[in-house]
């Protein structure tokens, strides 16, 4: 833990650390830290340590006051003095440890740090302290009050949080040699925990520029993510109202909200109610960030393990809800250690899930998998930079790069899908013409007219029935052929008309029974008609009657339609297997893909004394 930045135990810093620690967790395994002790900070278990920092180039470049500080709960004016002996105080690293108990929930606490300033101060420069605080705090330099932030009220309702503290150190107090920085903080309300933003010392104008630069970068990254979320949401309709597009927008918007809310309490003076609202929003954003693996949405259509997203959304509740309860003061601070541990584990699992999805996509050579791989590598690089060099905005830049690469991949896949649909539309139109030609070609009409003439001489009533059935069938064919889908019961009626026409023409008896049909199902036109026609053509040579049975069965997530006929194909009688497929089956497959892209399967084959065609259609998920 040596070398950690000075972190006050502010609740919104927990998630910042979660993101950084997840890299260590994935590489080395999760190791419990030595824990917490006192108001905030990780106790140093070694022998007593002198909390002194030698600052070298403070006038040229600000330095973070990291490492060991001295801590004591309680309050005394003497603790601000530079000559006060603090060797008996606790030595702490200001970060949340895992496994120790927080013994102070509110009240007063002090932190002290000895600082050794180098010679070479320039008269025109002013030394300053930068600390984005979340609690009411006072800053003492060599026993002199140099700044304060927030309001300590007589009650919880009156207390207000702190904001960014940038306070100057008087020139007469900033000479070379030993100095003591003491920070006094207090909190009536459990919402106000000490924050973890690093305390920096340096030339005051440089500190201000660096603070503004960081906020500008964070605001820019949040704006990029908001634009990305809006863009994906606007593509919701263009994508065919697909759920994954909408959920991807929610994930991106959550990332933007996280960036904004994590810094809002540090730059805006908030009362207790406003703090509560911010922390609730922060907890919700954190939940969606860690639970919604964005790579899953890109490859959801082809990724075989559909349970991944529900599992992560459910598991995320066990990590985010306790975190939210601690954030908002509705849970004891003793929960901090197990809550941090749980979130460490879950963030690691979430990142592992992303890598799993991307690895599967790369292995299967899915379109956009290369861009997704670049995205996850960019995010990991940003996390490593944040962890190694303490550049806070680097992780946000990595997340933004990940989102941009994924949006690029999703746009590419959407373009390819639209191109496939255009190709299928053209093929469907061509096959539709072929099917219509097949059903109204001259020899079909000629044979039908010949049958009508024959029946007119023998049985005029039968001829009339044939004329009516033929007219009805052709009328329906012409009306529905250009539609994308029609009601299944209308398709069944068309099939019965066709069987009646063919039965009267051939002096045979055909029947079609249906079971389990609800009445609201839709299917591409002439799909069932084509399958029935194939059964008639290949299965009833030399037969005087035939029976078709159409049935629907419901299963979790899908519906199965079965068409059975008791005919025996000529190829099977001859002991030959027919290779390839004709125009009819190509038409059926094309129209099914057009209506139910990637959600259907069609199988056929002999069963017992007949032929069975099975069509399965998965329910649409978005």
Burial (CB count within 10 angstroms: exposed 0-12, middle 13-18, buried 19+), residue 460: exposed
When divided into structural domains, the chain yields a total of 3
Q: For residue 100, what pLDDT is reported?
A: 33
**CA within 13 Å, CB half, 194:** 32
The CATH number assigned to the domain holding 123 equals 2.60.120.260
Domain check: are 406 and 448 in the same one?
no
Structure confidence by residue, pLDDT tens digits, 352-405: 898 898 899 899 888 888 888 998 899 889 888 887 777 778 888 888 888 888
Point out the domain boundary residue: 418, 453, 470: 418
pLDDT-derived band at 616 (thresholds 50, 70, 90) equals very high
Domain check: are 175 and 30 in the same one?
yes
CB atoms within 10 A of CB 364: 12
Domain check: are 509 and 373 in the same one?
no
Phi then psi for residue 413, to 5 deg, are -65, -35
Quick one: three-class SS letters along 451-487?
Answer: HHHHHHHHCHHHHHHHHHHHHHHHHHHHHHCCCCCEE
Q: Does the pTM exceed 0.85?
A: no
The CATH number assigned to the domain holding 302 equals 1.20.1070
Residues 6+ apart with CB under 8 A from 542: none
Can you tell me which residue has the tokens 């019961």? 489
Domain hosting residue 393, numbered range: 209-418
Domain check: are 178 and 218 in the same one?
no
**Phi and psi based region of residue 556 (left: phi greater than 0; alpha: psi -120 to 50; beta: remaining):** beta
Burial (CB count within 10 angstroms: exposed 0-12, middle 13-18, buried 19+), residue 3: exposed
Report which of residues 512 and 68 the model is more confident about.
Answer: 512
Cα–Cα distance measured from residue 478 to residue 468, given in angstroms and rounded to the nearest whole number: 16
Structure confidence by residue, pLDDT tens digits, 104-157: 445 788 889 999 888 765 557 888 988 766 667 889 999 999 988 877 655 666
Point out the domain boundary residue: 179, 202, 225: 202
């Amino acid at each position: 833990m040596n070398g950690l930045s000075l972190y006050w135990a502010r609740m919104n810093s927990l998630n910042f650390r979660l993101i950084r620690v997840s890299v260590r967790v994935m590489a080395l395994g999760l190791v419990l830290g030595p824990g917490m002790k006192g108001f905030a900070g990780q106790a140093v278990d070694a022998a007593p340590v002198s909390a002194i920092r030698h600052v070298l180039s403070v006038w040229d470049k600000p330095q973070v006051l990291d490492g060991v500080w001295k801590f004591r709960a309680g309050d005394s004016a003497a603790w601000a003095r530079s000559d006060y002996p603090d060797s008996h105080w606790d030595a702490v690293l200001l970060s949340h440890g895992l496994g120790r108990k927080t013994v102070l929930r509110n009240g007063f606490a002090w932190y002290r740090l000895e600082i050794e300033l180098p010679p070479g101060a320039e008269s025109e420069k002013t030394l300053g302290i930068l600390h984005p605080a979340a609690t009411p705090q006072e800053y003492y330099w060599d026993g002199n009050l140099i700044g304060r932030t927030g309001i300590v009220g007589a009650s919880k309702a009156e207390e207000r949080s702190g904001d960014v503290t940038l306070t100057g150190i008087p020139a007469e107090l900033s000479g070379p040699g030993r100095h003591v920085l003491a920070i006094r903080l207090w909190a009536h309300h459990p919402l106000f925990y000490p924050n973890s933003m690093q305390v920096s010392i340096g030339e005051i104008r440089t500190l201000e520029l660096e603070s503004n630069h960081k906020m500008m970068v964070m605001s820019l990254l949040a704006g990029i993510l908001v634009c990305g979320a809006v863009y994906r949401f606007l593509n919701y309709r263009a994508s065919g109202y697909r759920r994954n597009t909408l959920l991807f927008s929610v994930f991106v918007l959550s990332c933007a909200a996280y960036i904004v809310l994590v810094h809002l309490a540090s730059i805006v003076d908030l009362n207790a109610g406003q703090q509560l609202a911010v922390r609730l929003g922060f907890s919700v954003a954190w939940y969606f960030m860690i639970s919604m693996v964005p790579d899953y949405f890109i490859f959801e259509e082809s990724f075989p393990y559909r349970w991944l997203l529900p599992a992560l959304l459910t598991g995320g509740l066990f990590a985010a809800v306790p975190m939210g309860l601690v954030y908002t003061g509705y849970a004891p601070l003793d929960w901090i250690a197990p809550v941090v541990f749980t979130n460490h584990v879950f963030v690691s699992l979430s990142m592992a899930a992303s890598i799993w999805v991307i690895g599967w996509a790369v292995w299967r050579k899915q379109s956009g998998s290369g861009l997704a791989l670049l995205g996850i590598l960019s995010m990991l690089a940003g996390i490593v930079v944040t962890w190694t060099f303490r550049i806070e905005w680097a992780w946000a830049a990595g997340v933004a790069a990940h989102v941009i690469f994924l949006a690029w991949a999703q746009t590419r896949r959407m373009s390819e899908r639209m191109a496939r649909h255009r190709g299928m539309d053209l093929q469907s139109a061509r096959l539709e013409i072929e099917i219509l030609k097949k059903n109204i070609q001259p020899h079909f009409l000629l044979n039908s007219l010949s049958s009508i003439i024959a029946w007119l001489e023998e049985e005029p009533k039968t001829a009339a029935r044939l004329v009516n059935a033929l007219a009805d069938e052709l009328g329906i064919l012409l009306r529905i052929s250009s539609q994308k889908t029609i009601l299944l019961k209308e398709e069944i009626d068309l099939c019965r008309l066709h069987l009646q026409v063919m039965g009267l023409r051939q002096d045979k008896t055909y029947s079609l029974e249906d079971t389990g049909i609800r009445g609201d199902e839709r299917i591409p036109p002439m799909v069932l008609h084509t399958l029935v026609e194939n059964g008639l053509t290949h299965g009833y040579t030399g037969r005087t009657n035939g029976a078709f049975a159409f049935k629907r069965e419901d299963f979790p997530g899908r519906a199965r339609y079965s068409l059975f006929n008791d005919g025996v194909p000529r190829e099977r009688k001859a002991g030959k297997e027919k290779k390839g497929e004709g125009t009819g089956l190509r038409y059926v497959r094309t129209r099914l893909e057009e209506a139910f892209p990637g959600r259907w399967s069609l199988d056929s084959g002999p069963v017992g004394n007949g032929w069975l065609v099975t069509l399965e259609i998965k329910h649409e998920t978005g």
